[in-house]
């Protein structure tokens, strides 16, 4: 009788062992599922990391290209500024040169204050250009060809037709 109890205890242990084995199998299956999920998640994470690294490299390349374009634009702007400064300096030189020419013209014109802008020849009464002018010592302006014609007449040949001073050419 005691024997049957002992046999029953063995059976109880074996059932406990089977129960423990089944529980262990369940735990292993659950661990394997969780491991499988974790491995899948790890694979996804690694894939995401690779994608992020590729995106980062692409962004770095884009930034480098943008920086290159910015450097080139800055170099072009500096060159344009240099050319503009040179043009400004040249414009200033031209302006100063024009001022000097205007002063020279004003000085030359001041000699002719008594005359119109284009003095008239007192013989033919037409305007006299600088190239056509002939000036005796009295300062009156005449066309050279008119003066030559006047000198061909013996009565008028030796005097200015305006002031009647003796004709002598300025030295």
> Is the pTM of the predicted complex or chain greater than 0.85?
no
pLDDT at residue 1 greater than cutoff 50:
no
Boundaries of every domain in the chain = 117-171
Q: Residue 157: which residues within 8 A CB-CB, separation 6 or more?
A: 150, 151, 167
pLDDT at residue 2 greater than cutoff 60:
no
Higher pLDDT, 1 or 78: 78
**pLDDT computed for residue 4 by the predictor:** 46
CATH node for 117-171: 3.30.40.10
Query: What percent of the chain is predicted at pLDDT more than 70?
Result: 84
CA 110/CA 113 separation, integer angstroms: 5
- Per-residue pLDDT tens for 47-95? 999 999 999 999 999 999 999 999 999 999 999 999 999 999 999 999 9
Q: Provide the mean pLDDT of the chain.
A: 82
pLDDT at residue 12 greater than cutoff 80:
no
**pLDDT computed for residue 64 by the predictor:** 95
Q: What sign for the dihedral angle of Cα 123, 128, 134, 138?
A: positive
């Amino acid at each position: 009788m005691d024997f049957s109890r002992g046999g029953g205890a063995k059976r109880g242990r074996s059932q406990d062992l089977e129960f423990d084995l089944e529980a262990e199998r369940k735990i292993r299956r659950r661990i394997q599922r969780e491991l499988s999920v974790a491995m899948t998640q790890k694979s996804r994470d690694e894939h995401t990391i690779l994608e992020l690294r590729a995106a980062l490299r692409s962004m770095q390349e884009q930034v480098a290209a943008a920086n290159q374009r910015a450097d080139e634009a800055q170099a072009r702007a500096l060159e344009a500024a240099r050319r503009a400064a040179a043009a400004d300096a040249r414009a200033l030189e031209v302006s100063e040169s024009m001022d000097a020419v205007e002063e020279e013209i004003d000085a030359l014109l001041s000699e002719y204050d008594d005359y119109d802008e284009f003095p008239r020849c007192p013989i033919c009464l037409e305007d006299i250009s600088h190239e056509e002018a002939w000036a005796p010592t009295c300062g009156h302006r005449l066309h050279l060809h008119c003066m030559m014609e006047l000198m061909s007449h013996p009565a008028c040949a030796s005097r200015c037709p305006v002031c009647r001073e003796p004709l002598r050419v300025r030295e």
